[in-house]
Structure 1
């Protein structure tokens, strides 16, 4: 009979509330043994670790919940999938099959949407930087151009001259909605008349016509009333430019920024308490349109929701490689996934779930990634039982931004899997290797 490995005893000061109806911090374990009926251990065995996993069923649930909240209140609603939130082809295809057009903020994302078969007329081209030649291609292909600045107006007037036609475009505006810091970097300001002057400039030039007004007031917005304020100001500008220039505003676009059920760092309350519902957002926006509309017809309503439709449908599986004791006695686990894959770890506390129940009491632990960087900390303080090498942890929600902003730094980017509505896991992105990294080097 082999001897057990000797572990030096440690004494840690544990600060926590006494046991309550929610359980004891020394005993309670959060467990996720499967995702959509597929064991996490089987996923890691088949596809490797770390591994991004996405649930098609959850995506559809989130989509239908939000879409129904708007379409039940307003007659003409169109979602545009925000490519920057998660541009994996397998994810984009799900949203397009559900009825979303594409919303892009770069030529790269525009090209990706076109490669997926999305026609130019079904692409919203946003963003502060649109290279001239790519902007011209988008114009020729009928994309919805949302103008960000006066230099872009100059470019569009030049393109109109080259094509010998008048172009229909929309503008992006920013405004004070009572939420700070105000997103004033993008688009033309409403309060100081810059937005109105931009429209006047269009009609003075005679080469551009305004057919849409767009705003994106922020990200992870916890105040639905801010969207009411944004909608009111968009509708005020709509009425003014229609009266002054004879413009026909065919659509308004309230952008995105709806919050997911992520847990913000420094916030005590649960996301279930502070995050507005789909109905809250829909009520704020649609009521403001009805109240402010002075035209005989209602404008089409576009929404570019990203985070709220994908965040809770994404998971990151990571395995324990080892552990060590720090000088203060805390146990530090070494995982095969780190902040290189979890960009949003700066702002959110993730759910950390075990693959099964482990014997023993919990103790204060730290979760560190594989990077040779002192900042590679996924969770600085979490109560965990003694985990084995190979134990699988599920980190969520991570569906929004984490894959697209994951770094090819020190470690290869992992594979990604989509579990379809039948419960079958399907590989949608292979793990990177040396050939991937070296592909464009010369």
Structure 2
């Protein structure tokens, strides 16, 4: 649901049961709900959206639409905020949210480490010059080739996810630093597909069944791998910190058991990421400093109670850094009013550049970005150009009644997972990522072409 709809007093629910009251609610279709947008974004008096000192109308002319517009200053500021908030703790940017060589270079410059979860992400990090010692390697089914490459290149740590992986790594006969991913049985309040700490899923070693302790026992007994500690990740788009509290207590209790029964005090603890961001005004994310304070207190209190030394803490924000830094710019193609329901506004992208609405029932907002309107608001659904009825970008949003072909629409909060999960469905080329900073714009991931698609088709 849209930020402005919520701001006007609407409650989350079925638009069909609201009736005419929705249309009588005073809504400013030209307003920008600033917390949803990157730091340098604002609207001019003419209603045209600006980012990094450039107008989106100019950017659309130069780079076309759809396009992901990346506010580099916003991204850097969020990197710095997490780095400063967590102090001595290690901040690993979760590369799966969005990764390219330019992002890797910025991470290096801002002093963050990097978490990757595939050979391709590792290759991108190394190609951009990231220090391998600052890379962590995740994944539930890393191949022998990927593991060998990671070890040979000196990756700083590998988060092991199965007994098979322990065997594969041990067979290399090198003292690789590893952490054990623990499934702690905490249900994150999120979509089933992005809640990762309950037992009935593919990730990690279960705490409840004893396999997490057995993994530690086996690694320590074999004496090949360098076990640094435990890793817990409870899900994504999380706003309730209580899940992190429960996770920390359970993992630290496991570390205490390893000390008591195996005689080894593990020096590190990773509490993962999954920190939520604001997609609509219903979302109330925490500041990095608040997250850091709460997590540090949880760990300190529990270690004191268990008589453990404080482990070196690490976290893995991805969405919380890159998600708000980017918005997607579209051009309106067709407008189709449905009497008594809503108006369908079709744009030149869709589920190939943002699958999250269809996959996770995710909510987004949108704003008219190319002009100011004096028209009354109408209830609209922003949809894509693909041959799917589920090709929805924004489920419900108030847009001006004079929305028309050629207008530009901007959808905020698309920095995380949209480009990473983009596809060529219906043979639609993927959009570019354009970084904007201080009045300058540069393409950091170029737009695909039909020639790119045909180059892979061997006939």
Distance in 2, Cα, partners of 1:154 & 1:80:
26
- Alignment pair present for 1:363 and 2:373: no
- Alignment pair present for 1:351 and 2:365: yes
Change (3 A) 1:327 1:362: closer
CA contact (8 A) 2:94 2:114 kept: yes
Distance in 2, Cα, partners of 1:179 & 1:389:
41
Distance in 1, Cα, partners of 2:382 & 2:23:
24
Distance in 1, Cα, partners of 2:367 & 2:103:
24
Instruction: Name 2:8's counterpart in structure 1.
Output: none
Change (3 A) 1:203 1:382: closer
- Alignment pair present for 1:290 and 2:300: yes
CA contact (8 A) 1:30 1:352 kept: no
Change (3 A) 1:177 1:159: same
CA contact (8 A) 1:81 1:92 kept: no
Instruction: Name 1:201's counterpart in structure 2.
Output: 218
Change (3 A) 1:15 1:381: farther
| RMSD of aligned alpha carbons | 2.3
* CA deviation profile, 1:52-80 (whole Å, cap 9, x unmatched): 10111111222233332222xxxx21111
1:224-303 matches, cutoff 5 A:
224-263=241-280, 270-272=282-284, 275-293=285-303, 298-303=310-315
Q: What is the CA-CA distance between 1:242 and the residue it aligns to?
A: 3.3
Q: What is the CA-CA distance between 1:17 and the residue it aligns to?
A: 4.6
- Alignment pair present for 1:153 and 2:169: no
1:385-396 matches, cutoff 5 A:
385=400, 386-396=402-412
SS at match of 2:70: strand
- Alignment pair present for 1:218 and 2:235: yes
Change (3 A) 1:151 1:316: same
Picking from 129, 137, 140, the partner of 2:152 is: 140
Greater Cα radius of gyration, structure 1 or 2: 1
1:34-49 matches, cutoff 5 A:
34-49=50-65
* CA deviation profile, 1:125-158 (whole Å, cap 9, x unmatched): 1110110122122123332111101111111222
Distance in 2, Cα, partners of 1:338 & 1:245:
53
Distance in 2, Cα, partners of 1:287 & 1:80:
20
Q: What is the CA-CA distance between 1:413 and the residue it aligns to?
A: 0.8
CA contact (8 A) 2:23 2:377 kept: no
SS at match of 1:293: helix
Q: What is the CA-CA distance between 1:389 and the residue it aligns to?
A: 2.1
Distance in 2, Cα, partners of 1:167 & 1:331:
57
Which structure 2 residue ranges, 5 or more long, are not aligned?
Answer: 1-17, 33-42, 44-48, 190-194
SS at match of 1:351: coil
Change (3 A) 1:374 1:270: closer
SS at match of 1:60: helix
CA contact (8 A) 2:272 2:316 kept: yes
SS at match of 1:418: strand
What TM-score results when the alignment is normalised by the length of structure 1? 0.86
CA contact (8 A) 2:105 2:129 kept: no
Instruction: Name 2:328's counterpart in structure 1.
Output: 316
Picking from 79, 84, 89, the partner of 1:68 is: 84
Distance in 1, Cα, partners of 2:262 & 2:410:
56
Instruction: Name 1:183's counterpart in structure 2.
Output: 198
Q: What is the CA-CA distance between 1:299 and the residue it aligns to?
A: 2.4
Change (3 A) 1:187 1:331: closer
Change (3 A) 1:17 1:409: closer
Change (3 A) 1:380 1:157: closer
> Which 10-residue stretch deviates more, 119-128 or 280-289?
280-289
- Alignment pair present for 1:374 and 2:375: no
